[in-house]
Amino acid sequence: MAGSKTKKTIEITSELKKLAEEQIKKQQKETKYDLRDFTIDYIVSQFNEGLFFIPEYQREFIWLDQHRINFIESILLGLPIPMMFVADLEDGRLEIVDGAQRIQTLEQFTNDDLVLKELKLLPALNGFKYSDLPTAQQRKFATKALRLIVLEDSTSLGRRQEIFNRINTGAVKAKPSEVRRGSYESPLMKLVIKCSKDKQFEKLCPMSSALENRREREELVLRFFAYSDRYKQFRHDVQKFLDKYIEDNKSSIDVKAKEQEFKTMLQFVSRYFSSGFAKTPSAKSTPRVRFEAISVGVNLALRNDPNLIPGPMSWLESPEFFSHVTTHASNSRPKLTGRVEFVRDHLLGK
């Protein structure tokens, strides 16, 4: 049929099959593990002692109370618990690859720092702490064995991070900024993390503790760098765009220059934007699109004129600026280009 498209198929030759077999065997050798059963009291005690530890690339503890309570109720009911992943390191410690939130929940509950409530199947336990359980149930809880997949110490950091990445993209668990932190070990990501902790940035860019714990600051910093360098190349998928920027700049980024650019931008915003990146001086949150418009727009203007002294800033209260920093269709290239160039051009007096 005229105009129809046919998909190009790959001929699976014996050579391709041989190559596939070699790749599979090579990758399988990268991951060796065994299964071990540990009781809850042992896991908790050894977590407190430092045998089990949470690596830097893992997330902060962010389970809501009810999520933690549901997990405890599942254990009390004797329901199957998904296996956790740990890595056996050369120093004898066990790095928690997946399961940090479950282990921290167990530690909180057994230390009486978690009160049960709104239980679905065990409502008689509402208001109970661990020490309120009947003695027999405390013993059964403490001696219940959980199964862990233990990766051998030959498993590389990159492979452990890859496992973390795959587990946390298999379901709605981690935000892209959290997964990205565990997936990319590079000077750029170290810089992003460093800049996200800048005190002036924290002051100018208010946000809730919940968002901070979900690495929102790192997300904003990465967007600043990526959009400053490549906003004209952006299409629509933000996360693919950011991931490619990281991949392309793994080893070719001038860390000192980038850090200075970020700090210079912050100093400019502090001097000329009375509310920082937020809508008002008393605001408790910072919309992403507003942060992008101001931070990237300022940076583009300073690249054009490093000694820039802007004129009146009344345009910040204009309906036009407001339309640029609303969230509708915010992840389209025209919208992104419009908001950052609007700020750039007004600062430059165009």
How high is the pLDDT of residue 89? Answer: 83
Q: What are phi and psi of 308, to 5 degrees?
A: -60, 130
Distances, alpha carbon 235 to alpha carbons 110, 248, 296, 321, 348, in Å: 49, 17, 17, 22, 26
**pLDDT score recorded for residue 236:** 74
Distance of CA 111 to the CA centre of its chain: 28
Q: What is the DSSP letter of 51?
A: S
Q: What local confidence, expressed as pLDDT, does residue 182 receive?
A: 56
Cα–Cα dist 140/137, whole Å: 5
Name the one residue in this structure whose structure tokens are 């932190």. 181
How far is Cα 130 from Cα 193, in angstroms, rounded to an integer?
A: 37
pLDDT attached to residue 143: 95
How far is the C-alpha of 263 from the C-alpha of 347, rounded, in Å? 18
Residue 259 in contact with residue 191, Cβ under 8 Å? yes
DSSP 232: G
Q: Position of tokens 């430059």?
A: 348
The whole model's pTM is what? Answer: 0.56
| pLDDT one digit per residue (tens) for the chain, 350 residues | 444 455 567 888 888 777 777 777 666 555 667 788 999 999 999 999 989 988 766 655 567 888 899 999 999 999 888 888 888 888 889 988 888 889 999 999 999 999 999 998 999 999 999 999 999 999 999 999 999 988 776 666 666 666 666 666 544 445 666 656 555 568 898 899 999 999 999 999 999 888 888 789 999 999 999 999 999 999 878 888 998 898 888 778 899 999 999 999 999 999 999 999 999 999 999 999 999 999 999 999 999 999 999 999 999 999 999 989 876 556 788 899 999 999 999 999 98
pLDDT at 237: 80
Amino acid at 294: I
Structure tokens at 340: 């950052």
Angle at 82 between CA 76 and CA 86, to 5 degrees: 115
The pLDDT of residue 262? 98
Contact, 86 vs 150, CB < 8 A?
yes
pLDDT at 167: 60
